[in-house]
Amino acid sequence: MGQQIIKTGKILIVDDNEDLLKAAKIYLKRHLELVEVEKNPESIPALLNNENYDVILLDMNFTRDVSSGKEGYYWLERILEIDPSAVVVLITAYGDVQMAVKAIKAGATDFVLKPWENEKLLATIYAAMRLRETKREVATLREQQREISGELNKKFQNMIGISPAMQEVYRAIDRVAVTDANVLILGENGTGKELVARAIHRNSHRKNEVFINVDLGSISETLFESELFGHKKGAFTDAREDRAGRFEIANKGTIFLDEIGNLSLPLQAKLLTVLQNRKVSRVGANKQTEIDIRLLCATNLPLYDMVKENRFRQDLLYRINTIEIELPALRQRLEDIPLLADHFLKTYSEKYEKKITRISDAAMSRMHKHSWPGNIRELQHSIERAIIMSNSNILQPEDFNFGAQNPAGNSEGALLLEQYNLEEVEKILIRKVLKKYNGNISQAATSLGLTRSSLYRRLEKHGL
């Protein structure tokens, strides 16, 4: 039995000889997914803008210029300007070695002579296709490496907690990680939504592929499409080179869209189109690239209420929340505070080279009474600050800054929660902390357990 031929690959053949084009197409379409032919080289830019070809077979000589090969060099240069990663095989009836060497130095991949043997032509095309795939992989790996290099030094990747609430989270991760289902992670700021996303990725069949984290709250409306979907060189003023977007970089891996509730309705529509079609089109290009990604999203906003208020698309919500995982606030898992505190104590004692051995019982008692509006992130910053400020080997209550928020159970704090909804409480708290630190954003953000950019977004949201 002969070996079964699997039809893959898309090629474009440009030659002014119609008989050659017809014969090549009849033969090659039995072996390749797509074979397009064109006798007019002036059509090349439009063809390249509408399709991703694995290989381009380009005649060296057209009717305007019979034998010098100048037209072939010209169109080779044009093709590589449009797509620097293009794989071009030049074809000619004149077996000139010097011409072949010059063509390859100019960027051609290979060189074939007319008339050709079909089997040799096919072998040349297959070799060129492998090169094209290698070029794509190298370009993607380069982009992935940029992302990965920023992730390697991130600490606190392991989730910590033994509370019943966290045990339920662990069980949910185990159930969904092995699937490719879209997951929506809900929870207040600082509860560890990114850690859940990373845990899902690490336990999935995509664990050896890239994990791309996208903070949608930090991407401006004008750069949204460029950041997520990529752009072509010259698509806008600062587009100095072709660039893959986050979705392309995440191909075969996992993409985590954090703060998805912050997207405007127009951007929600654009995102929905990509998620439905599983294809992206770079800004400035018409052709689309297929993507294979695992989608994880997170938000601290009430998406279901936002749907009712027409602030979030219902069809997008259905698309992203095949499975939901809701993270408990730190005040709902107080039994995990000693474990978390001990973890941060060891981490920052080592970082700042201080011999702090433990947290006093009095300080731990205060921690259990504090309401932790910034959740684990606030606890982390509080312990880091305490270690920096402490002159003892045991952390005491006075080493901590518990004054920014009333402890749980305090009558004023309870009254606030009774009288206002969560967003109003957040607004009141931010206003109080800003007043305490005389408008210093960095100090206020640290006290609240937020990043500066997160605090700025909340200031804008609340009109502060």
Q: Give one DSSP letter per residue of 56-85, joined into a string.
A: EEEES-BTTBSSS-HHHHHHHHHHHHH-TT
Pair (300, 344) in one structural domain: no
Q: What is the CATH number of the domain that holds 94?
A: 3.40.50.2300
Q: 456 or 419: which carries more pLDDT confidence?
A: 456
Look at residue 149 in the predicted model and tell me its pLDDT: 45
Q: Which residue has the higher pLDDT, 456 or 146?
A: 456
- Model pLDDT for residues 97-140, shown as the tens digit of each residue: 667 677 777 788 887 777 788 888 888 888 888 888 877 777 66
Query: Cα(364)–Cα(370) distance, rounded to whole angstroms?
Result: 10
Rounded to 10 deg, the angle between the 411-419 and 422-436 helix axes is 130
Which residues, 6+ apart, have CB-to-CB distance to 343 below 8 Å? Answer: 156, 160
Read off the pLDDT of each residue in 288-304 and give the average, rounded to a whole number: 94
CATH code, 359: 1.10.8.60
Same domain, 209 and 236: yes
Pairwise CA distance, residues 434 & 103, whole Å: 66
Tokens found for residue 453? 């950019």
SS3 281: coil
Can you list the positions of beta strands (E) in 93-175? 110-113
pLDDT > 80? residue 249: yes
Mention every residue, 6+ apart, whose C-beta is less than 8 A from residue 80: 86, 88, 107
Q: Both 237 and 293 in a single domain?
A: yes
Domain span holding position 83: 10-134
**Any idea which residue has 């800004």 for tokens?**
283
Helix (H) or strand (E) holding 202: helix 193-202
378, exposed or middle or buried, with CB in 10 Å at 0-12, 13-18, 19+? buried
Residue 375 and residue 322 share a domain: no
> Alpha-carbon Rg of the chain, whole angstroms?
29
CA atoms of 211 and 396, how far apart (whole Å): 40
- The predicted pLDDT at position 286 comes to 79
- The answer to whether residue 293 sits within a structural domain is yes
240 pLDDT band, cuts 50/70/90, is confident
The answer on 341 and 322 residing in a single domain is no
**Do residues 164 and 120 share a domain?**
no
Residues 43-68: pLDDT tens digits? 999 898 888 888 999 888 765 555 56
Contact 66, 98 (CB under 8 A): no
Bridge-based pairing state of the strands 294-299 and 110-113: unpaired
Same domain, 176 and 270: yes
Q: Is residue 119 part of a domain?
A: yes
Is the same domain home to 399 and 335? yes
Asked whether residue 402 falls in the same domain as residue 285, the answer is no
Residue 142 lies in a domain: no
Is pLDDT above 70 for 299? yes
Average pLDDT across the chain, whole number = 83
- For 397-426, what is the mean pLDDT? 56
Q: What is the pLDDT of residue 389?
A: 87
The reported pLDDT for the residue numbered 403 is: 58
Mind listing the pLDDT tens digit for each residue in 253-286?
999 999 999 999 999 999 999 999 999 988 887 7
In 3-state terms, what secondary structure has residue 325? strand
Percentage of residues of the chain with pLDDT beyond 90: 39
pLDDT for position 257: 96
Residue 231 falls in which region: left (phi positive, over 0), alpha (psi -120 to 50) or beta? beta
Are 360 and 395 in contact by the 8 Å Cβ rule? The answer is: yes
**Hey, what are 42's tokens?**
């002036």
Type of residue found at 86: A
How far apart CA 103 and CA 99 sit, in angstroms, is 6
Q: Which are the contacts of 460, defined by CB distance < 8 A and separation ≥ 6?
A: none
What's the rounded mean pLDDT across residues 357-376?
A: 91
Please check whether residues 45 and 116 belong to one and the same domain: yes
Q: What local confidence, expressed as pLDDT, does residue 9 receive?
A: 84
Do residues 109 and 210 share a domain? no
Q: What is the mean pLDDT of residues 401-416?
A: 48
The predicted pLDDT at position 361 comes to 87
283, 306, 326 - which closes a domain? 326
Measure the CA–CA gap between 259 and 297, rounded to whole angstroms.
Answer: 8
Q: How far is CA 189 from CA 81, 385, 426, in A?
A: 46, 19, 11
Verdict on whether the full-model pTM lies above 0.85: no
Q: Using CA atoms, how far apart are residues 330 and 191, in angstroms rounded to an integer?
A: 7
Whether residue 404 contacts residue 447, with contact meaning beta carbons closer than 8 Å, is answered with: yes
Q: Residue 301 burial by CB count (10 A; 0-12/13-18/19+): exposed, middle or buried?
A: middle
Can you tell me the distance from the alpha carbon of 115 to that of 93, in angstroms, rounded to the nearest whole number?
Answer: 7
Q: Which residue has the higher pLDDT, 5 or 380?
A: 380
- Domain of 238, CATH number, reads 3.40.50.300
Inter-residue contact 338 to 383 (CB < 8 Å):
no
Domain final residue, candidates 271, 299, 326: 326
pLDDT per position as a tens digit, 159-208: 888 899 999 999 999 999 999 999 999 999 999 999 999 999 999 999 88
Domain final residue pick, 281, 298, 326: 326
- 294 within a domain of the structure (yes/no): yes
171 & 260 share domain? yes
Q: Is the confidence at residue 419, as pLDDT, over 70?
A: no
What pLDDT was estimated at residue 96? 59
Please name which of 95, 3, 92, 14 lies closest in space to residue 48, comparing C-alpha atoms: 14
Distance in angstroms (rounded) separating the CA atoms of residues 114 and 110: 14
Domain assignment present for 140: no
Q: 397 lies in a domain?
A: yes
Round to whole Å and give the CA distance between 363 and 382.
12
Using the predicted structure, report yes or no on whether residue 410 has a pLDDT greater than 60. no
When comparing pLDDT for 206 and 452, which is higher?
206
In a domain, 28, yes or no: yes
Cβ pair 430, 394 in contact under 8 A: no
The reply to whether 346 falls in a domain is yes
Q: Are strands 230-231 and 243-244 parallel, antiparallel or unpaired?
A: antiparallel
Count of structural domains, the chain: 3
- Edge-to-edge strands, sheet with 55-59: 34-38, 10-14, 55-59, 88-92, 110-113
Confidence of residue 82 (pLDDT cuts 50, 70, 90): confident
